[in-house]
Amino acid sequence: MSAVAAMIDVAMIVVDGLDVRFGEGAAAVHAVRDARFTVAPGEAFGIVGESGSGKSTVLRALTGLNPDWTGRVAIAGMAQVAHRPREFYKQVQMVFQDPYGSLHPRHTVDRILSEPIAIHGLDKADSRIERVLVDVGLGPDFRFRYPHQLSGGQRQRVAIARALVLEPRILLLDEPTSALDVSVQAEILNLLGRLRREHDLTYMLVTHNLAVVAHMCDRLAVMNQGRIVEEMTVAQLRAGAPREAYTRQLLRASIGYDRQAAEALKTFD
Amino acid sequence: MDRDKTLLSVEDLWVRFPGRTRTVEAVRGISFTVGREKLGIVGESGSGKSVTGRAILRLIQSPGEVAAKRLEFDGIDLARVDEATMRAIRGKRISMVMQDPKFSLNPVMTVGQQIAEAYLVHRKEPAAEARRKSLDMLAAVRIRNPERVYDLYPHEVSGGMGQRIMIAMMLIPDPDLMIADEPTSALDVTVQMQVLAILDDLVTKRGMGLIFISHDLNLVASFCDRVLIMYAGRIVETCRASALHEARHPYTRGLLQSLPRIDRPVGELQVLQRDPAWRDGPVMS
Amino acid sequence: MASETNRIDGEGLRAWLLAETPRSRAQSRLGQAYVRWLHFLRNPLAMVGLVIVLALVVVAALAPWLADQSPYAQDLARRLQAPSPAHWFGTDELGRDIYSRLVHGASITLMIVGLVVIIVGPVGLMVGTVAGYLGGWFDTVLMRVTDVFLAFPRLILALAFVAALGPGIENAIIAIAITAWPPYARIARAETLTIRNSDFISAIRLQGAGPLRIILGHVIPLCMSSLIIRITLDMAGIILTAAGLGFLGLGAQPPMPEWGAMISSGRKFLLDQWWVATIPGIAIFVVSLGFNLLGDGLRDVLDPKGK
């Protein structure tokens, strides 16, 4: 039994040699190159990178939304192929970046939350919906409203509720707060933190915001140009001592503006 | 160059949007001045910060109404001049950079043509001269190969480069004041740093005034000279940017405390408890 | 809750409909419809259109009572009489009362319009959304078929179909329906392509939903409004095509009081007895205008991009 195979038993997410390419011929883009990482059960793992680094592509390959990948992906001990069975989605759910785009504009909150229950043929739909609405801090008053009657933060709570209805073990978070005001971001981050503790969830968070990753996660991987540059613990990040020059530059730029630092910026390929 | 000279002074500015059922007061009687400095306006969405920027340039669409006791730019009363004078001021003397370059650039013209056009609108000079100036300006915003970029279309450039092109376009008439509305929010942090360095140099070297509208407190604290904090259409606090982290107003403090931090762990982020008294409380400075 | 149910008078109902926190699915759905209706009420031209269309429905439903004479009763002694108190719109070349024929013709017009919509709407919607959502091979085949139908002028193609199927009102309806669906398929496909890649479709896919559920429950509701608008605006064209076929003798057959056929038979007397052709012409014009105004109003209310 190889080392990776042994990991599958203890790890919630195992990604090994993941490659994603888009397009063909000269226009082909190698979006993710040989990504590998594991996430333990109950852990919160972050992927940080700038636009085009491939961080969201990794997430989409994990969800099965993008079937064009090669390599090995195992989730909750099950090796995954391009097409995911319906049962897969009871294990893994996702929260999207844009709370305005991720809710169907013509569906009420009730309809949005009933849909997964109907798809998976679960019982006690009413009590499940009520419970999950209370769980995300909205309460029953919001059940029959339309998305356009909600604020950005409330919409994101509905999106989180939708992800929780199926009681998954893994939540994939794609920039869940970057479209929100800072005060609302704090509320959503607190909510996500509480839900993780209460429901024993495993998180995988993709973001460009180092502060959010530092707050939410235990470990993180830094991506640039489709490659994982380095993997480290949040403690290492906080100590300001990343190994790679790229990460150090990213960290410096995230702290705030500095004229000298701007002069010293380099391009990493 | 007189660093303390006031470029723009705004006194009691109101912006109202009459609606069917009620009138929305987006900006409620704010006053401030801008010199040859980097003035940050910070606030959450709906605080009126973007509306303020557009009101100065009289870009508020009907039925929105702008009223001010004084809206004076370099001796000109912007609230009272006619539209033709306003057109001459817009772009030439006061320019504006928006958040997303994709929506601000014309998709069927090359970026070079657009910059040259921005130059020729306010000046009667030969096209060759406009091209030369445009190439200089592209180099000034640190675009490595201006000749090549000149002939690209907006969809062929990256977000960061698009924003630098926008800034080049806004700078070519050599404005005295630039209003930048979240100019770097759509950009990666390292690109943001480069764009800010360009703006920084313009203020320190050319003596331009800059109004920097942003939601990012840390960025404004590290980049600007002075900061106005807006809440519900009013300025609740003004302070030196370097002293922003010692801000006294409970709203500003609440915003700062709601931020997650890289340097140390915070168990639970503080959630902002809004106090209705903030809406009409005094301005702290 | 008892006090609430007792108070369903005018004001109470309004408050119930506009409630910030609806208590049930029905309340939120009705509330949404009510908001749209309030929006629609603010457009006077759309109201004119709605009144015309409703009037057409009422006239069609009450034709036996509104018309005092049989639309088929001939009276050769009283042929081609000018409008008078006895015959409000005059009589035609066989002495039939034009007013009665017009009133009975309303239901034929309504039937043509209704049947065409019932056939065309679902066909266009299904073809367009399936092609747009599934893409690839499905898309290519379905859209080439659509292109074939789009390549011919509508009336010519309808003429060919009627010529093949034989003249008659039913065949005219089938012919119009066959020629009318391709533009709807095109619209539905274009809408689907923009909807397909949105986050809320990704989200429902991540709930484990299959293509059928996504197309029926998530894509079609968003295509519906532009389709309803387009169909209402096209209604005038459908009526005119039906009238055209009737005029050419390929649609409704005598003695059916179809408006197009009435114009056709009246054209021989257009110079001397103007009312025989003009009155049904005005009827077609007014009804077409009504549908057009209604369509414009619906566009304002339903089109999410307009807001």
CA-based nearest residue in chain A for residue C30: A144
Please check the confidence at residue B160 and state whether its pLDDT lies above 80: no
Residue range C139-161, pLDDT digits in tens:
999 999 999 988 888 888 888 88
Compute the count of residue pairs across chains A and C with CB atoms less than 8 Å apart: 80
Question: How would DSSP label each residue in B129-183?
Answer: HHHHHHHHHHHHTT-S-HHHHHT--GGGS-HHHHHHHHHHHHHTT--SEEEEEST
**Confidence tier at C9 by pLDDT (50, 70, 90):** low
Residues of chain A neighbouring B193 (CB-CB closer than 8 A): 253, 257-258, 261-262, 265
Helix (H) / strand (E) containing A172: strand A170-174
- Residue A188 inside a domain? The answer is yes
Please check the confidence at residue C301 and state whether its pLDDT lies above 60: yes
Residues of chain A neighbouring B144 (CB-CB closer than 8 A): none
Strand partners, A196: none
Tell me the C-alpha distance between A159 and A136, whole Å: 10
Highest mean pLDDT of the ranges A3-17, A79-93, C244-258: A79-93
Give mean pLDDT, residues B264-285.
84
Tell me the C-alpha distance between C150 and C156, whole Å: 12
Tell me the C-alpha distance between B199 and B142, whole Å: 12
Give how many domains chain A has, as a whole number: 1
Tell me the C-alpha distance between B250 and A135, whole Å: 29
- Residue A15 inside a domain? The answer is yes
CB-nearest to A257 from B217, B223, B265 is B223
Question: How would DSSP label each residue in C155-211?
Answer: HHHHHHHHHHH-SSHHHHHHHHHHHHHHHHHHHHHHHHHHHHTSHHHHHHHTTT--H
Residue A143 DSSP label = T
Residue with structure tokens 């409380």? B281
- Residue A184 inside a domain? The answer is yes
- What would the two tokens of residue B236 be? 């609740």
- From residue C109, alpha-carbon distances to A230, B232, C54, C101, C264 in Å are 72, 57, 13, 12, 16
The whole-number pLDDT of residue B282 equals: 82
Using DSSP, state whether A209 is helix, strand or coil.
Answer: coil
Contact between A93 and A172 under an 8 Å Cβ cutoff? The reply is yes
Instruction: Supply the CATH number for residue A172's domain.
Output: 3.40.50.300
Evaluate the CA torsion angle C19, C21, C24, C28 in order and state its sign.
Answer: positive
Residue with structure tokens 């897969």? A88
Helix (H) / strand (E) containing B256: helix B250-257
CB-nearest to C203 from A88, A96, A144 is A96
Q: Mean of the per-residue pLDDT values for chain C? A: 86
A256 touches chain B (CB under 8 A): yes
Contact between C50 and C294 under an 8 Å Cβ cutoff? The reply is yes
Residues C183 and C93 in one domain: yes
Residues C143 and C180 in one domain: yes
Contact between A93 and C202 under an 8 Å Cβ cutoff? The reply is no
The whole-number pLDDT of residue C2 equals: 44
Q: Of C246, C220, C274, which Cα lies nearest the Cα of C105?
A: C246
- Residue A248 inside a domain? The answer is yes
Query: Which distant-in-sequence residues (6+ apart) come within 8 Å of C143 by Cβ?
Result: C131, C185, C189
The whole-number pLDDT of residue C303 equals: 65
Q: Of C153, C113, C152, C121, which Cα lies nearest the Cα of C260?
A: C113
Residues C105 and C234 in one domain: yes
The whole-number pLDDT of residue A133 equals: 95
Residues C11 and C145 in one domain: no
**Confidence tier at A266 by pLDDT (50, 70, 90):** confident
Q: C48 lies in which domain range?
A: 44-306
The whole-number pLDDT of residue B238 equals: 94
Contact between B285 and B249 under an 8 Å Cβ cutoff? The reply is no
The whole-number pLDDT of residue C306 equals: 41
Instruction: Supply the CATH number for residue C72's domain.
Output: 1.10.3720.10
- Helix, strand, coil percentages (3-state) for chain B, rounded to 5, are 40, 25, 40
Q: Which residues of B touch A (CB under 8 A)?
A: 44-45, 159, 188-194, 196-197, 200, 215, 217-219, 221-223, 254-255, 258-266, 268-272
Q: Which residues of A touch C (CB under 8 A)?
A: 63, 65, 86, 88-90, 92-94, 96-98, 101-108, 110-111, 115-116, 119-120, 141-142, 144-146, 149, 159, 162, 166
Return the C-alpha torsion angle C175, C181, C182, C184, nearest 10: 160
Residues C170 and C32 in one domain: no
- Residue A269 inside a domain? The answer is no
Residue range A220-239, pLDDT digits in tens:
999 998 999 999 999 999 98
Residues C36 and C87 in one domain: no
**Confidence tier at C4 by pLDDT (50, 70, 90):** very low
The whole-number pLDDT of residue C178 equals: 87
Residues C196 and C173 in one domain: yes
Residues C150 and C62 in one domain: yes
The distance of A157 to chain C (nearest Cα, Å) reads: 14
Distant-in-sequence contacts of A240-247, Cβ < 8 A, 24+ apart: A240/B263, A246/A222, A247/A222
The whole-number pLDDT of residue C5 equals: 47
Highest mean pLDDT of the ranges B220-234, C7-21, C75-89, C160-174: B220-234
Residue range C109-141, pLDDT digits in tens:
899 888 998 899 999 999 999 999 998 899 999
CA-based nearest residue in chain A for residue C223: A106
**Confidence tier at B34 by pLDDT (50, 70, 90):** very high
Strands (E), chain B: 8-17, 24-34, 38-42, 65-67, 70-73, 76-77, 94-97, 177-181, 209-214, 226-231, 234-240
Torsional class of C241: left (φ above 0), alpha (ψ -120 to 50), beta (otherwise): alpha
**Does pTM top 0.90 for this prediction?**
no
Residues C194 and C271 in one domain: yes
The distance of C208 to chain A (nearest Cα, Å) reads: 5
**Confidence tier at B142 by pLDDT (50, 70, 90):** confident
Residues C219 and C96 in one domain: yes
The whole-number pLDDT of residue A51 equals: 83
Q: Are B258 and A186 a contacting pair at CB < 8 A?
A: yes
Q: Mean of the per-residue pLDDT values for chain A? A: 90
The whole-number pLDDT of residue A48 equals: 95
Tell me the domains of chain B and their CATH numbers: 8-93+175-279 (3.40.50.300)
Residues C69 and C106 in one domain: yes
Of A108 and C236, the structure prediction assigns the larger pLDDT to: A108
- In this structure, the strands spanning A202-207 and A170-174 are parallel
Confirm whether the ipTM is greater than 0.85.
yes
Torsional class of A66: left (φ above 0), alpha (ψ -120 to 50), beta (otherwise): beta
Within 61-80 of A, beta carbons closer than 8 Å to B belong to none
**Confidence tier at B171 by pLDDT (50, 70, 90):** confident
- In this structure, the strands spanning A219-224 and A227-233 are antiparallel
Using DSSP, state whether B41 is helix, strand or coil.
Answer: strand
Contact between C260 and C111 under an 8 Å Cβ cutoff? The reply is no
- Residue A125 inside a domain? The answer is yes
Using DSSP, state whether C258 is helix, strand or coil.
Answer: coil
Tell me the C-alpha distance between C70 and C104, whole Å: 9
Residue A23 DSSP label = S
Q: Are B197 and A253 a contacting pair at CB < 8 A?
A: no
Q: In what order do the strands lie in the sheet with A170-174?
A: A92-95, A170-174, A202-207, A44-49, A219-224, A227-233
Tell me the C-alpha distance between C53 and A50, whole Å: 57
Give how many domains chain C has, as a whole number: 2
The whole-number pLDDT of residue B285 equals: 74
C9 touches chain A (CB under 8 A): no
Residue range B230-248, pLDDT digits in tens:
999 999 999 999 999 899 8
- What would the two tokens of residue A81 be? 């192929």
Tell me the C-alpha distance between A210 and C43, whole Å: 51
Q: A216 lies in which domain range?
A: 3-263
The whole-number pLDDT of residue A76 equals: 86
- In this structure, the strands spanning B94-97 and B177-181 are parallel
- Residue A85 inside a domain? The answer is yes
Residues C20 and C103 in one domain: no
